[in-house]
Amino acid sequence: MALPDQMAPFHAPGGPVGVLFCHGFTGSPASLRGWAEQTAEAGYTVSLPVLPGHATVWQELNVTSWRDWYDAVDAEYRSLRETCDTVFVAGLSMGGSLTLRLAQHHTDVAGLLLVNPALGAVDPLARFAGVLKYLVPATPSIGNDIAKEGVDEGAYDMTPVAGVHELHKLWADVRSCLDLVTCPIALFRSEVDNVVPGSSSDTVLRLVSSDDITEVRLANSYHVATLDHDANLIVKTSLQFIERVAAAHTA
C-alpha cells in the first residue's frame, strides 16, 4: 500500500508558471507525486490535490458526482491563476478527462499533459454501471495496472459502481466538446493498457482543435505509466514541453 504521506495533497510554491496535477479514478496523489515533485524541483509552482471521494474509503465514491471532481480541479486551477501568469494542467486517466474539460472552459490554459486519458473503459460491463449500481455496490479494483513490480498508486481495493456511472457522465460531457480544446497538448499513451482502451487517446487526437500536439508512445508501461518504467521519460518530455510552450506563451 502507498504510504499516507504519498497519498496526501502536494503543493509547492515556485515561479510564475504553474502546473496543476489531476489523479485518476479510485486513485490518489501517490500516482503523480514523483512527477509533481520533480516539476516543483524544476522551479514551477505545483498543485496536486486529492479529488473528492478519493484517498478515504471506496464507499465515498458511490456518493460523489463527477461535478464534484471537476469543481475541485476548477477551484485549484483558479487558485493557481491568481498567483501564476501561466498554468499547465496534467492528468492521468480520469484526471486527463478533467484536464480536457478545464481546457474546454478556460481558454487561458497554457497546455495539457495527458497520460492515458480516459474517455472509455476496457471492461465491457462498465457501460452498464447505471443499472448495475442498483445490484452491486462495487466490483474488483482497477488500480495498480503497473508493469513495474513493488509500486503502489494508493488506489481503492474495490471499484465503486455508482462512481463508474458518474465517470461515464463525465466522459460523455467531455467528448461532446473536444473541439473547444485549442491549447498545445503532450499526450503519453502506453502500448499496453488494461484499463483504458487506445480509442480514448485516438478520440482526443482526432477531435481536439489543437495544432500543437506531441504524442509519445510508452513501450514499457501499463496504465499508471507515471509510476512505471517510463516515468522518467514522462517527466523529461513534459518539462521540455512546459519550457517550450511557456516561452512561446509569454513571448
Q: Catalytic residue numbers? A: 93, 193, 223
Listed in sequence order, the residues at least 6 apart from 169 whose beta carbon sits closer than 8 Å to its beta carbon are 66
- Regarding beta strands 10-12 and 138-140, do their DSSP bridges make them parallel or antiparallel, or are they unpaired? unpaired
Q: Amino acid identity of 85? A: D
Query: In terms of Cα–Cα distance, which of 192, 244, 196, 237 is closest to 97?
Result: 196
Count, residues in the chain: 251
Listed in sequence order, the residues at least 6 apart from 51 whose beta carbon sits closer than 8 Å to its beta carbon are 22, 23, 69, 72, 73, 95
Residue 158, phi then psi, degrees to nearest 5:
-140, 160
Residue 51, helix vs strand vs coil: coil
